[in-house]
C-alpha cells in the first residue's frame, strides 16, 4: 500500500497489486491542493497531510476514511513540513513559515489537541524542511534560508 496527495485536494491509497484503482480516504472540503503526506512510522493506520497555504496539519486514520481524527493548528503561517517520530506512534513534528518547529503528542486523540508539547523558533527564517533522525530519534534537523540546524529534543 502507498498513498499520494494531489492538486484535487484528495488523499488516495493504492494497492501495488491493483494500481488501476485507488481509494480516496480524504478530500479537502474546499478542494484545496494537498502538498505533503507523511505516514506514521510506528502505526501505519495514521498519516498526516497539509493543504496549500494552510496553517493546519490534518491527521487521518485510514480505518476511518473522510474524517480527520485530529487537526494541529498552532502555526501562525503556512505549514511546510511534517515528520513523524521514528520511535513513537504518538509524536509528530510540524514546521512552517512562522519560523517554528512544533512537536505534538497526539496520544489523546480523538480529543482535541490544543497545544504542542515543544516549540522551537528559528531566528532567521521560515522553516522549509524538517527531518526526524531515524537512527538517532533524539535529534531533529530543520532547514531555513541557507541553513540547517540539528536540534536535540
108 Cβ contact partners less than 8 Å away, ≥ 6 residues apart: none
Q: How far does Cα 145 stand from its chain's mean position? A: 21
Is residue 78 within 8 A of residue 66, CB to CB? The reply is no
DSSP state of 137: T
With pLDDT > 70 as the criterion, what percentage of the chain qualifies?
100
- Per-residue model confidence as pLDDT tens digits over 106-143: 998 777 888 999 999 998 899 999 999 999 999 999 99
Query: In this predicted structure, what is the pLDDT of residue 132?
Result: 94
Query: In this predicted structure, what is the pLDDT of residue 24?
Result: 94
What number does CATH give the domain 2-152? 2.130.10.10
- Per-residue model confidence as pLDDT tens digits over 11-50: 999 988 988 899 999 999 999 999 999 999 999 999 999 9
Q: pTM of the full predicted structure?
A: 0.92
Amino acid at each position: 500500500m502507498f498513498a499520494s496527495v494531489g492538486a484535487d485536494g484528495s488523499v488516495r491509497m493504492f494497492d501495488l497489486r491493483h494500481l488501476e484503482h485507488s481509494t480516496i480516504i480524504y478530500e479537502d472540503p474546499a478542494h484545496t491542493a494537498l502538498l505533503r503526506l507523511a505516514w506514521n512510522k510506528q502505526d501505519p493506520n495514521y498519516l498526516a497531510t497539509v493543504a496549500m497555504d494552510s496553517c493546519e496539519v490534518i491527521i487521518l486514520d485510514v480505518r476511518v476514511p473522510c474524517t480527520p481524527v485530529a487537526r494541529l493548528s498552532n502555526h501562525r503561517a503556512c505549514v511546510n513540513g511534517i515528520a513523524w517520530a521514528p520511535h513513537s506512534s504518538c509524536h509528530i513534528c510540524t514546521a512552517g513559515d512562522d519560523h517554528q518547529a512544533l512537536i505534538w503528542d497526539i496520544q489523546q486523540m480523538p480529543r482535541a489537541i490544543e497545544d504542542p508539547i515543544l516549540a522551537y523558533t528559528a531566528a532567521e527564517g521560515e522553516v522549509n524542511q524538517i527531518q526526524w533522525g531515524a537512527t538517532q530519534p533524539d535529534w531533529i534537523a530543520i532547514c531555513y534560508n541557507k541553513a540547517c540546524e540539528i536540534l536535540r529534543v
